[in-house]
Structure 1
């Protein structure tokens, strides 16, 4: 019993808290833009399944908390289900007063705005969290100066020397040595361009970090890039840097760009044979990571929320039917053609998208559980 309570408090509750915030913000994006465009909204649900409790607002929308706290949805009047599949019969039989308020009857640009609002809301949440943390807490940093170069390493072969000052990596500004380490670590076996200062001049060096397996503080295996440089840190080297409100905006946008670019590069590795499926994670792994991060404190959990919110927002923009990106793809085609794709084509796409998303969920579930267990035995 004690073990179950510990598991519940350590993993399940942090995971559900993070997921609920992310999904609520995503669906609120859809809801607000739909409301601004005069769309009749039937239901706003946090969770799926049977309603635990709820209420109706003055606009006729049913707000509900449902039994299965793994997501949520906004359902418009005239939708057949929570996936926003149009109910042709309900749309055809709508009253003259209701018909103009149906989502299916809005112009294509209004529908694009409503669908895009969910992922955009996730990106905005990420920006607000990262910006607030940067302003409120600043960041500890050490000078981006190379202390030593390991003999026979990638760095030595590329020509990096002790005393070099790192200016940027792949166009990302390096404000501290920790930035340099992170930019290299997130590029295993991928070429990176390093701009450095030496003897009053600048030099650009292109090198490819070696892929190395390491364990984090929780015992999880991580595949990172290393080039063979180090820096001895004295207590006086560590400083707390607090950017101003304007500078923090640029730094936050740069951080978001970094996360998106590195995530895309990580996924791209699988198409060129560099990917490691052990690094892929589904709900079980996210729950595990959420519990582990929660042990580091509320700030670490909030930071994880920002990271997951951005990734979920970007994932939803993939042009796969069943995701927001699939809907946007259909609507953009409609905007170009001047008329929507046939229902047969759309239904075929949704079936394909459903099968693809389901296959991905099953794969990540097995990768998180069965495959992970088998790897521990090998």
Structure 2
């Protein structure tokens, strides 16, 4: 009999790794013998070792004849580590319970087939919806070639992000800012436009001690390399990874200066208003990123919304109204009919101090 509580435990383990395991998915694994958990594992930072080998190592001989609950189909190919299917076979597990299939062409059913060929019972489809939600970033990269995009907004009740003079610190309170740092910690990267860098000179780090073991990748969309070399993001690029997405044809000496500072440069095609954002996201996906949190500014938000590239929204509302003089969360992006307006489905709402956090997913 399959016990869904063990899969829920494996999913909880996997959620701990979000933001730390790219380019690999964060997977959880629980080994159960006679109803007792004898091994637990989660994908380690950088994507290896994998969850199954971690759990099997903890279980030791107790894994023989046991059940393995895994949030994603075990890999069946040799990369920097041997296949997890072979580790499960060698350990002598009797049954593998899987939440979701892995659409990676190197796996995609081959892991299940290998386990069954070895005489191991395989049960699939246990808490699949929950697993797909947790693995949405990895699935997006495999299926669409780009990371999952979450647009984070911190605004007044009427959707303003700054006063007419540009003052924005702080619209929301300390609790909301702490929650925003937690969001950073659950994503592979944080992305902003060059205008946000010029106005705020941000660090874009996750400043919750012990929240994650690897630094967040900071990504700047800067079509013509206008970012100052003295900006915090550039000055700290050797310790906290910083990438710049830019158009081709920018001066070679500027590219060299950023590269010398430790910045990774990603050249993509130009669009109507600078960088082609779809191409930029494809470049991030090719580099292995699975989950990107977009934090600013209004031009980037408008471009992503216009091009249908926002998958989720995390919207912090402060209990204040600024009026028409304030800067909007998104610049105009050509919506003239209601039918053309991007629509989202609310998935959660909760109080964060004096503010409210509402989360949305793109409507089907």
Considering the TM-score relative to the shorter chain, is it more than 0.5? no
TM-score normalised by L of structure 2: 0.26
More helix by share: 1
Radius of gyration: which is bigger? 1
More strand by share: 2
